[in-house]
Amino acid sequence: MTASEDRQRDLIATLDFHVAAGVDLMLDEEPHDRFAEVDAPPRPAARVAEPAPEPIAPPRRELPPRGEAPSPARTFGQSAAARPEAAAGDARARAKDVTSLEDLEKLLAGFDGCPLKFTAKNLVFADGNPASKLMFIGEAPGADEDRVGKPFMGRSGKLLDRMMAAIGLDRTSAYIANVVPWRPPGNRNPTPQEVTICKPFIERQIELADPDIIVCVGGLSTQAITGTKDGILKTRGRFYPYRVGDREIRVLATLHPAYLLRQPLQKRLAWRDFRTLRAALDGKAQGG
């Protein structure tokens, strides 16, 4: 093998390593330490990965050639990452004025304050029936959802559909959204900063959909919506109050289907949660 073939083999091995580690798109020629840009930055944990390997997604937008100024949208997105409270304030001010789910979706499509928008292919706003009194809220889209533009389309989504079907529900009888509507690259968890920026939108989405019951799917969603710091194994199966003006919506926490795909024995706990949900929908006291 020549030296150049040797080098080529090493480069391919390095790329394979990055893809296996979840680095599936390139944003710039030099690495950036985004976590050094904010105070007390927590590192994002790897999201409970779906077992199936994901296709490699190309970047949605072309990067500017080296040395050329980045577009204003990219600049705003990056500075917003460093000032999530300011971006969240902007998001809240804009979301407040919107009076329909359609307009909220349009608003989100034009919102440049969350850097995830610039790596995602599509906005993943919602699926299901917005008139339903039941709303499921997941964490953030994965590769399948990013490709299709709808939540819970991959293996997790198929399992969620089966869990819903087990208590007589389907996508015509529930409305489905995520806390963060853009896919975090490499299927990582959204950072706390990204959640802070996107939260005003999901809060407005809840207000406009006006459900009686919300099911938070997974720990991140439960923490973002209820404000609890407890982990999902503690919060699952319990109802939390969520106030919208003088109205109280009941929030039930349950395990994420991606976790259940990796820990199938835990499906018995999720089954209990779904029976609790069925009882609540039927107006009965919660079963165990």
Residue 24's CB: how many other CB atoms inside 10 A?
Answer: 19
Which helix (H) or strand (E) segment is 248 a member of? Answer: strand 247-254
Q: Which stretch binds ligand URA (CB under 6 A): 151-159, 238-246, 247-255, 273-281?
A: 151-159
Q: Which is nearer to ligand URA, 140 or 202 (CB)?
A: 140
Cβ within 8 Å of residue 134, ≥6 positions away: 169, 173, 174, 175, 211, 212, 213, 214, 215, 281
Q: In what order do the strands lie in the sheet with 175-178?
A: 127-128, 175-178, 134-138, 213-217, 247-254, 239-244
Applying the rule CB under 6 A, the residues between 227 and 286 that interact with ligand URA are 258
- Give the tokens for residue 266: 């835990």
State the nearest-atom distance from the C-beta of 157 to ligand URA, in Å. Answer: 6
Q: Which stretch binds ligand URA (CB under 6 A): 32-40, 82-90, 139-147, 167-175?
A: 139-147
Residue 171's CB: how many other CB atoms inside 10 A?
Answer: 18
| C-alpha to C-alpha distance for 27 and 11, rounded to whole angstroms | 18
Note whether 182 binds ligand URA by CB under 6 A: no
Q: Which is nearer to ligand URA, 44 or 70 (CB)?
A: 44
In sign, the C-alpha dihedral spanning 134, 136, 137, 142 is negative
Residue of 76, 118, 136, 152 interacting with ligand URA (CB under 6 A):
152
State the nearest-atom distance from the C-beta of 156 to ligand URA, in Å. Answer: 5
Q: Which stretch binds ligand URA (CB under 6 A): 20-28, 134-142, 161-169, 241-249?
A: 134-142
What residue number has its CB nearest to ligand URA?
138
| C-alpha to C-alpha distance for 224 and 238, rounded to whole angstroms | 15
Q: Which is nearer to ligand URA, 249 or 255 (CB)?
A: 255
Note whether 219 binds ligand URA by CB under 6 A: no
Nearest to 248 by CA among 196, 213, 197: 213
Note whether 90 binds ligand URA by CB under 6 A: no
Residue of 54, 145, 203, 273 interacting with ligand URA (CB under 6 A):
145
Residue of 77, 84, 128, 141 interacting with ligand URA (CB under 6 A):
141
CB 208 within 8 A of CB 165: no
| C-alpha to C-alpha distance for 53 and 22, rounded to whole angstroms | 10
Q: Which stretch binds ligand URA (CB under 6 A): 76-84, 128-136, 150-158, 195-203?
A: 150-158
Note whether 178 binds ligand URA by CB under 6 A: yes
| C-alpha to C-alpha distance for 21 and 280, rounded to whole angstroms | 41
State the nearest-atom distance from the C-beta of 144 to ligand URA, in Å. Answer: 7
Q: Which residues pair with 64 in a beta bridge?
A: none
Q: Which stretch binds ligand URA (CB under 6 A): 38-46, 133-141, 199-207, 272-280?
A: 133-141
State the nearest-atom distance from the C-beta of 261 to ligand URA, in Å. Answer: 11
Q: Which residues are near ligand URA by CB under 6 A?
A: 138-142, 145, 151-152, 156, 178, 217-218, 258
